[in-house]
């Protein structure tokens, strides 16, 4: 059975890069009727916070991802919080030490920094020089008796080629001599990411690991750990990172890209789901799809090796598709009850019909409520220019036409066209601005129906007074 996982650290809100990794892992498992596992990697006690652990689970559930094993679900490989798995890691530390494949390291941060500086100055890649590798049992005991707390390093074999076939990037080769002995347990006793991540993947039977290509250099290290312990080795696939529209790594300076923030801004989960499913993955279906349909069309061989560029317009495209797909109940829930209460009950259905194609977010619907049902409009500088260019005769003729034709906008515009010899934008735009103080929006005929005859008449009168006032 295919088994994938997502293993976030609860040190902050989930950003889109991590969310896409989770989504691709869940889609791949679902495509093969496999299991998707959620594991919380909270061994870094100084940075991990319980609130983020709860938040990331809430965010993933909002997106529509369900894990078959993990927190609040359980499973045969519990616990799913790494902070509760230290006894498991200790068992494998002892195995490596017994085999002579791990050793205590007493080097301080200052000593390591100095070594790195010297190696760089000599034009060499910085790696651990093996200072503590040859310490005798007596040397180790003496240092521990003196109160020194050692880290534990994995003894990397010399002149060994580490090869694997990456699910995205193809064949990868590394030389062990370029890696150097690395820490698998910190001096304070907690497991390093390198170690516990690999051990848990093996023990939880993870068959396929999808993660960002910033982890590519970790893979040979983890392969050596698993092979030394004779543990199951998953297949790895490293996803090209997401960049901003300027081509640089996606960061806060490009905007707010946590899943939590997108939800708070009013993005629908189906919009984010459909956008991310195509960000670096070629999906042949271009219509709005739900998770099971996206899983059916997910193919790991269609993952791009090139970085995926974030495109705000594409995200908004899927947002519009998702808004149009909402049923009436879901739409009102998304818009909020306060908006519904601001609209005359007899006009709610028409309001939804008219406004839905013109909004991306609830705040825009609220703006339209204020525009359509308030008593007074305010015009910005650009709209004032439009009204003044139309001039007093235009609005006098508009009022006269309305007195004759009521709210029959088609007849009103036809009369204006004849009497004033205007057409196109010069005919429609002043009317739109006078009625809505907007230059774009729903069809004028629908607007007229929503605002009603009395408000329509008042708005034409207000526009006339604005023109007269500014003509003085």
Task: Give the integer Cα–Cα distance in Å for 420 and 195.
Answer: 80
* Angle between helix 362-373 and 348-355 (nearest 10): 120
Our CA angle for 47, 52, 57, nearest 5°, is 140
CB neighbours (10 Å) of residue 24? Answer: 25
Phi, psi at residue 307, to the nearest 5°? -60, 150
Characterize 326-351 residue by residue with b for buried, 16 or more Cβ atoms within 10 angstroms of its Cβ, and e for exposed. Answer: beeeebeebbeeebbeebeeebeeeb
Q: Which residues pair with 354 in a beta bridge?
A: none
Confidence at residue 414, expressed as pLDDT on a 0 to 100 scale: 94
Our CA angle for 404, 405, 411, nearest 5°, is 125
Tokens 């996206």, residue?
294
Confidence at residue 64, expressed as pLDDT on a 0 to 100 scale: 97
In this structure, are residues 168 and 239 in contact, taking their beta carbons and an 8 Å threshold? yes
Look at the alpha carbons of 68, 71, 77, 83 in this order and tell me if their dihedral is positive or negative: positive
Task: Give the integer Cα–Cα distance in Å for 222 and 214.
Answer: 14
Confidence at residue 44, expressed as pLDDT on a 0 to 100 scale: 87
Question: Per residue of the chain (472 residues), what is the pLDDT tens digit?
Answer: 999 999 999 999 999 999 999 999 999 999 999 999 999 999 988 899 999 999 999 999 999 999 999 999 999 999 999 999 999 999 999 999 999 999 999 999 898 888 888 888 887 888 898 999 999 999 999 999 999 999 999 999 999 999 999 999 999 999 999 999 999 999 999 999 999 999 999 999 999 999 999 999 999 999 999 999 999 999 999 999 999 877 777 755 555 579 999 999 999 999 999 999 999 999 999 999 999 999 999 999 999 999 999 999 999 999 999 999 999 899 999 999 889 889 999 999 999 999 999 999 999 999 999 999 998 899 999 999 999 999 999 999 999 999 999 999 999 999 999 999 999 999 999 999 999 999 999 999 999 999 999 999 999 999 999 999 887 6
Helices (runs of H) and strands (runs of E) counted in the chain: 19, 11
pTM of the prediction?
Answer: 0.91
Task: Give the integer Cα–Cα distance in Å for 318 and 250.
Answer: 20
Confidence at residue 107, expressed as pLDDT on a 0 to 100 scale: 94
309: nearest Cα among 239, 249, 242, 255: 242
| Residue 198 neighbours by CB under 8 Å, 6+ apart | 222, 225, 226, 231
Confidence at residue 251, expressed as pLDDT on a 0 to 100 scale: 58
| Residue 226 neighbours by CB under 8 Å, 6+ apart | 198, 199, 202, 232, 233
Cα distances (angstroms) measured from residue 49 to each of 21, 70, 196: 21, 18, 19
Task: Give the integer Cα–Cα distance in Å for 468 and 435.
Answer: 17
Task: Give the integer Cα–Cα distance in Å for 303 and 238.
Answer: 10
For residue 340, give both structure tokens.
Answer: 């519904």
| Residue 401 neighbours by CB under 8 Å, 6+ apart | 411, 412, 415, 416, 419
In this structure, are residues 8 and 56 in contact, taking their beta carbons and an 8 Å threshold? yes
In this structure, are residues 431 and 352 in contact, taking their beta carbons and an 8 Å threshold? no
Task: Give the integer Cα–Cα distance in Å for 60 and 14.
Answer: 9
DSSP string, 377-398: ----HHHHHHHHHHHHHHHHHH
Confidence at residue 282, expressed as pLDDT on a 0 to 100 scale: 96
**Could you tell me how many residues make up the chain?**
472
For residue 237, give the H/E element and its range.
Answer: strand 235-239
3-state secondary structure (DSSP) of residue 81: strand
> Strand 3-6 to strand 35-38: parallel, antiparallel, or no bridges (unpaired)?
parallel
Cα distances (angstroms) measured from residue 181 to each of 127, 132, 150, 157, 191: 8, 10, 14, 9, 16
Task: Give the integer Cα–Cα distance in Å for 318 and 283.
Answer: 14
225: nearest Cα among 132, 96, 39, 128: 96
Cα distances (angstroms) measured from residue 272 to each of 13, 63, 347, 356, 438: 16, 8, 31, 19, 29
CB neighbours (10 Å) of residue 188? Answer: 9
């Amino acid at each position: 059975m295919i088994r994938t996982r997502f293993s976030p650290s609860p040190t902050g809100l989930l950003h889109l890069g991590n969310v896409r990794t989770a989504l691709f892992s869940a889609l791949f498992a679902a495509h093969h009727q496999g299991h998707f596992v959620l594991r919380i990697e909270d061994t870094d006690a100084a940075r991990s916070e319980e609130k983020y652990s709860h938040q990331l689970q809430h965010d993933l559930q909002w997106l529509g991802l369900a894990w078959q094993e993990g927190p609040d679900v359980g499973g045969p490989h519990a616990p799913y919080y790494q902070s509760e798995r230290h006894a498991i890691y200790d068992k494998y530390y002892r195995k490596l030490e017994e085999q002579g494949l791990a050793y205590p390291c007493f080097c301080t941060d200052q000593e390591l920094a100095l070594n790195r500086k010297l190696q760089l100055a000599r034009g060499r890649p910085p790696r651990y020089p093996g200072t503590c590798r040859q310490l005798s049992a007596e040397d180790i005991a003496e240092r521990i008796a003196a109160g020194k707390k050692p880290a534990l390093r994995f003894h990397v074999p010399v002149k060994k080629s580490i090869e694997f076939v990456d699910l995205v990037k193809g064949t990868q080769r590394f030389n062990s001599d370029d890696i150097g002995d690395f820490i698998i347990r910190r001096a304070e006793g907690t497991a390093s990411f390198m170690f516990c991540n690999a051990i848990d993947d093996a023990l939880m039977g993870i068959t396929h690991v999808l993660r960002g290509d910033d982890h590519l250099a970790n893979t040979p290290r983890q392969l050596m750990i698993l092979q030394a312990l004779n543990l199951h080795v998953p297949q790895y696939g490293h996803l090209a990172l997401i960049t901003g529209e300027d081509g640089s790594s996606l960061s806060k300076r490009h905007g707010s890209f946590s899943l939590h923030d997108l939800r708070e801004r009013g993005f629908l989960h189906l919009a984010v789901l459909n956008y991310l499913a195509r960000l670096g993955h070629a999906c042949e279906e271009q219509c709005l799809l739900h998770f099971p349909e996206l899983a059916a069309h997910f193919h790991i061989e269609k993952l791009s090796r090139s970085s995926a560029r974030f495109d705000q317009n594409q995200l908004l495209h899927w947002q519009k598709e998702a808004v149009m797909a909402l049923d009436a109940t879901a739409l009102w829930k998304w818009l909020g009850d306060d908006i519904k209460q601001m609209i005359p009950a007899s006009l709610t259905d028409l309001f939804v019909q008219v406004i839905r194609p013109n909004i991306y977010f609830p705040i825009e619907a609220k703006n339209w409520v204020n525009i359509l049902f308030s008593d007074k409009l305010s015009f910005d500088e650009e709209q004032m220019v439009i009204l003044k260019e139309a001039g007093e005769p235009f609005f006098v003729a508009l009022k006269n036409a309305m007195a004759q034709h009521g709210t029959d906008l088609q007849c009103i515009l036809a009369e204006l066209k004849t009497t004033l010899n205007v057409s196109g934008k010069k005919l429609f735009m002043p009317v739109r601005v006078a009625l809505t103080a907007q230059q774009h929006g729903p069809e004028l005929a629908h607007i007229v129906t929503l605002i009603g005859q009395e408000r329509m008449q008042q708005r034409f009168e207000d526009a006339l007074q604005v023109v007269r006032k500014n003509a003085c």
